[in-house]
C-alpha cells in the first residue's frame, strides 16, 4: 500500500484527525450570560428555521452569503432586498418602504412600533415572548423557496436530458442510464400493483415527480449548504395537500360508496362506519405530512446535537467520538432519505388505487 | 422539561421499538423459511417499519 494514493489511508486519516483537534470554545462561554447548552439549543433552532437571506457562514463580522428579496403584501405591494435589515434579527433595524416601517424579529417581519422600547427594539412582546405587532402577508423569496426553485431546475435539466437520449435509440445512455431503472421500479413495483393496469398511466407523472423531488431534497438536506426544505412543515403540507386534492378529484362513485355506505356490513355498522371513514379521508394525508416532516427534522436535530456535543466535551476524546457517531448517523440518514421518498410515493399510489378502484376488483 | 413529558416520550419510544422489533423478527423467520422470497419480505418489512416509525415520531413531536 503506497501512502500517496491509497484510499484506505485517506479514510484512516479522516478518523485520526479529530484526535488532534478539539473545540476551542472557552472564549465564547466566558463572555455570554447564557450557558453553553442553551446556546446550542438556540443555534440548532435557528439553523432549522427559514430565513430571508442565504447565509452560508459568518466569522465575527464577516458574513458569507447573499440577500434575497422580501415581498410583502400589506394593502399595497412592498418589495425590497433583505440586506436592508443588516443581519438584524431582534427587531432593532427599521426598514421603510412606501411609507410603512417594518422590522424583523426572529425571522418574521412585523410592522414597526413608533418608538423603541428600552432594549432598542420596535416590537412589543407579550408574556410568552411572542410579538404582538401586526404581520403583513409575507410572500418573499426566502431560503427555502430559493432552494426549491434551484433543485427543481437541476432536476428538470437532468430529466429533459434523459428524455432526449431516447430520440437516438431505445437503449439509454448518459443521464437516461440512471433514470430508467428507477422509473421502471416506480412503475412496476409502486404504480401497477396499487393502481391497477387500467388507470396507472394518468398518475405516473405525479408519482415520479413526488419520488424524485423528495429524494433529491432530502439528499440536499444532508449537505453543508444549510438546505432544509422538508424540514419545514409548510412544504410537506403542500405535498400532502396535492395528494389529497388529486385523490378527491379523481375518485369514482365506488370510492364514495365505500366511505359513506360500506357494502357488505349490516346497517347499524354502516352508520357507525361513515364518520370514521370520513375522518380517515383527512387523517391519511395528514399522516403522510407528519411522517415525512418528523423523520427528516428529527434526523437533522440529532445530527446537529451530536456536533454540538463536541463543544460540550472540550477534551481530546470528545471530538472523535461525536464525529464517528455523526458519520454513522449520516449514513443512516442517506437510507432514510430514500426510504421516506419511497414510502410517500407508495402510500400516495395506494390512495390513488383506492380512489379509482372498480367494483369487481375485490368482491 | 417536566417529568410526565419525559416519561411519555420514553413510553412512545418503547412502543415503537417493540413494534419494529417484532416485525423484524417475523421477517427473519419468514426469510429463513423461504430464502427465495427475500426481496418481497424485505420490502414489506421496510414499509411496515416506516409506518410504525411515522406514528412514533408524530407522538414524540406532540409530547
Q: pLDDT digits over A341-362, tens only?
A: 998 998 898 888 888 877 765 5
Smallest CA–CA distance, residue B41 to chain A, in Å, is 14
For chain B, the residues whose C-beta falls within 8 A of a C-beta of chain A are 43, 46-47, 50-51, 53-55, 57-58, 60-61
Q: Which of A189, A290, A343 sits opposite B50 (nearest CB)?
A: A343
Contacts of A291 in chain B (CB under 8 A): 50-51, 53-54, 57-58
**For A55, phi and psi rounded to 5 degrees?**
-110, 110
Evaluated on CA atoms A253, A259, A261, A266, the torsion sign reads positive
Smallest CA–CA distance, residue A190 to chain B, in Å, is 11
Q: What is the mean pLDDT of residues B43-51?
A: 82
Binning pLDDT at 50, 70 and 90, where does residue A121 land? low
ipTM of the shown complex: 0.75
**For A188, phi and psi rounded to 5 degrees?**
-90, -30
CA distance readout (Å), A201 to A204, A239, A353: 5, 20, 12
Q: What is the mean pLDDT of residues A62-81?
A: 76
Calpha distance A113→A101 (Å, rounded)? 8
Residue, of A64 and A26, whose pLDDT is higher = A64
**For A137, phi and psi rounded to 5 degrees?**
-70, 130
Calpha distance A166→A169 (Å, rounded)? 5
Q: Which three cell numbers, joined as nine digits, stand for A59?
A: 466569522
Q: What is the mean pLDDT of residues A131-143?
A: 79
CB contacts < 8 A, A to B, total: 33
Q: Which three cell numbers, joined as nine digits, stand for A326?
A: 455523526
Provide the percentage of residues in chain A whose pLDDT is more than 70. 82
β-strands A100-105, A108-111 pairing: antiparallel
List all residues 6 or more positions away from B4 whose beta carbon is below 8 Å from its beta carbon.
Answer: none
pLDDT value of position A313: 74
Q: What is the mean pLDDT of residues A195-214?
A: 88
Q: Considering the entire predicted model, what is its pTM?
A: 0.80
Q: What is the mean pLDDT of residues A270-281?
A: 84
- Is residue A27 over pLDDT 60? no
CB distance from A290 to chain B under 8 Å? yes
Query: What are the E-state strand segments in A43-190?
Result: 53-59, 62-67, 69-73, 77-81, 95-97, 100-105, 108-111, 137-138
Q: Which three cell numbers, joined as nine digits, stand for B19?
A: 413494534
Domain boundaries, chain A: 68-141, 144-355
Contacts of B61 in chain A (CB under 8 A): 290, 294
Calpha distance A258→A13 (Å, rounded)? 61
Residue, of A24 and A190, whose pLDDT is higher = A190
SS (H, E, C) A288-324: HHHHHHHHHHHHHHHHHHHHHHHHHCCCCCHHHHHHH
- Is residue A291 over pLDDT 80? yes
CB distance from A346 to chain B under 8 Å? yes
Amino acid at each position: 500500500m503506497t501512502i500517496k494514493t491509497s484510499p484506505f489511508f485517506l479514510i484512516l486519516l479522516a478518523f485520526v484527525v479529530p484526535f488532534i483537534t478539539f473545540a476551542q470554545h472557552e472564549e465564547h462561554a466566558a463572555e455570554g450570560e447564557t450557558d453553553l447548552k442553551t446556546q446550542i439549543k438556540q443555534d440548532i433552532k435557528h439553523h432549522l428555521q427559514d430565513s430571508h437571506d442565504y447565509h452560508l457562514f459568518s466569522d465575527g463580522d464577516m458574513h458569507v452569503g447573499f440577500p434575497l428579496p422580501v415581498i410583502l403584501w400589506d394593502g399595497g405591494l412592498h418589495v425590497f432586498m433583505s440586506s436592508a435589515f443588516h443581519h438584524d434579527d431582534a427587531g432593532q433595524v427599521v426598514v421603510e418602504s412606501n411609507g410603512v416601517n417594518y422590522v424583523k424579529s426572529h425571522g418574521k417581519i412585523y410592522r414597526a412600533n413608533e418608538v423603541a422600547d428600552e432594549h432598542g427594539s420596535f416590537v412589543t412582546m407579550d408574556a410568552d415572548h411572542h410579538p404582538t405587532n401586526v404581520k403583513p402577508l409575507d410572500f418573499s423569496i426566502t431560503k427555502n423557496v430559493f432552494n426549491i426553485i434551484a433543485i427543481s431546475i437541476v432536476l428538470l435539466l437532468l430529466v429533459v436530458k434523459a428524455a432526449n437520449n431516447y430520440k437516438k435509440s431505445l437503449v439509454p445512455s448518459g443521464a437516461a442510464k440512471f433514470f430508467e431503472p428507477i422509473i421502471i421500479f416506480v412503475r412496476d413495483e409502486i404504480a401497477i400493483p396499487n393502481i391497477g393496469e387500467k388507470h396507472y398511466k394518468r398518475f405516473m407523472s405525479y408519482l415520479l415527480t413526488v419520488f424524485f423531488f423528495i429524494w433529491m431534497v432530502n439528499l440536499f438536506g444532508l449537505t453543508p449548504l444549510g438546505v432544509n426544505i422538508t424540514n419545514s412543515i409548510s412544504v410537506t403540507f403542500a405535498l400532502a395537500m396535492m395528494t389529497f386534492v388529486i385523490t378527491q378529484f379523481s375518485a369514482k362513485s365506488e370510492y364514495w360508496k365505500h366511505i359513506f355506505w360500506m357494502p357488505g356490513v349490516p346497517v347499524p355498522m354502516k352508520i357507525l362506519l361513515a364518520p370514521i371513514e370520513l375522518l380517515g379521508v383527512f387523517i391519511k394525508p395528514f399522516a403522510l405530512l407528519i411522517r415525512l416532516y418528523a423523520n427528516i427534522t428529527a434526523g437533522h436535530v440529532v445530527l446537529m446535537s451530536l456536533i454540538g456535543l463536541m463543544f460540550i466535551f472540550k477534551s481530546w476524546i470528545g471530538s472523535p467520538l461525536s464525529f464517528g457517531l455523526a458519520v454513522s448517523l449520516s449514513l443512516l440518514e442517506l437510507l432514510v432519505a430514500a426510504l421516506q421518498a419511497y414510502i410517500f410515493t407508495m402510500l400516495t399510489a395506494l390512495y390513488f388505487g383506492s380512489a379509482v378502484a372498480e367494483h369487481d376488483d375485490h368482491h | 422539561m417536566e417529568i410526565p413529558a419525559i416519561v411519555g416520550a420514553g413510553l412512545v419510544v418503547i412502543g415503537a421499538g417493540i413494534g419494529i422489533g417484532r416485525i423484524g423478527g417475523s421477517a427473519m423467520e419468514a426469510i429463513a423459511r423461504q430464502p427465495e422470497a427475500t426481496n418481497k419480505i424485505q420490502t414489506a418489512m421496510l414499509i411496515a417499519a416506516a409506518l410504525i416509525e411515522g406514528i412514533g415520531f408524530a407522538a414524540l413531536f406532540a409530547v
